[in-house]
Amino acid sequence: MPRFLKHVTRLSFAALTLALMPPFGAEAQDAAFEDYLRTMSLAPGLSVSLMHLNAVTLPVVFQPPTFYVMRARTGQATLFYVQGTAQQAVNLDTDGFTLEQDGQSTPGQTTNISNFEDGAVSNGDRVDGVVEFATKPDLAKPFSVKHGSETVIFAFTEAQIAAAVPPPAPPAQ
């Protein structure tokens, strides 16, 4: 795909996502979703929630048609929805996300939905975005997401893994 079209596609995805996405709030704080949430500080005055996107969490964050696009993306990569509100003016750096498991490190690629890009974020501005990692970790083993000096660890139970991974499609007849 030409480089220009790749950027247009990304911008279109971000605009569509922002237009169709409900606020990430009380609904996502239910106990079922807390299993897939971690909090990370991206800058002094900006803590964000990182939500592992999977079969349980996708319907909370995204609505059709974006839901279907994101479901397909989670089948091929590891995605985290990022959301927070700046408590003071901050200079945000979205570079440097890594996923680590068993000594292997994978860099992340960010997609801006709202204010999730390098640069100034004003006090009170909401930050929304997605961090995507090309690898799929073994969910049965703990893995970490790092940004700068911050690290959050994800460790799921068998029940959480079973709920997060959609059942395989039935065989074609």
What whole-number distance in Å separates Cα of residue 65 and Cα of residue 47? Answer: 29
Please give the average per-residue pLDDT across 108-137, as a whole number: 97
- Kindly state whether residue 26 falls inside one of the protein's structural domains: yes
Structural tokens at position 19: 């237009």
Q: Give the three-class secondary structure for 164.
A: helix
- The string of pLDDT tens digits covering residues 11-25 is 444 444 444 444 444
- Kindly state whether residue 166 falls inside one of the protein's structural domains: no
**Percent over 70 (pLDDT), the chain:** 77
Of residues 117, 80, 73, 114, the one with CA closest to residue 98: 80
8 Å CB contact between 142 and 101:
yes
Of residues 57, 62, 71, 49, the one with CA closest to residue 17: 62
8 Å CB contact between 152 and 124:
no
Say whether pLDDT at 80 is over 80. Answer: yes
- Kindly state whether residue 147 falls inside one of the protein's structural domains: yes
* CATH number of the domain bearing residue 25: 2.60.40
Please give the average per-residue pLDDT across 62-86, as a whole number: 93
Of residues 94, 96, 119, 121, the one with CA closest to residue 107: 96
What's the domain range around 107? 3-161
In degrees and rounded to multiples of 5, residue 118 shows phi and psi of: -60, 135
- Kindly state whether residue 76 falls inside one of the protein's structural domains: yes
How many structural domains is the chain composed of?
1
- Kindly state whether residue 40 falls inside one of the protein's structural domains: yes
Per-position DSSP letters for 4-18, written without gaps between them: HHHHHHHHHHHHHHH
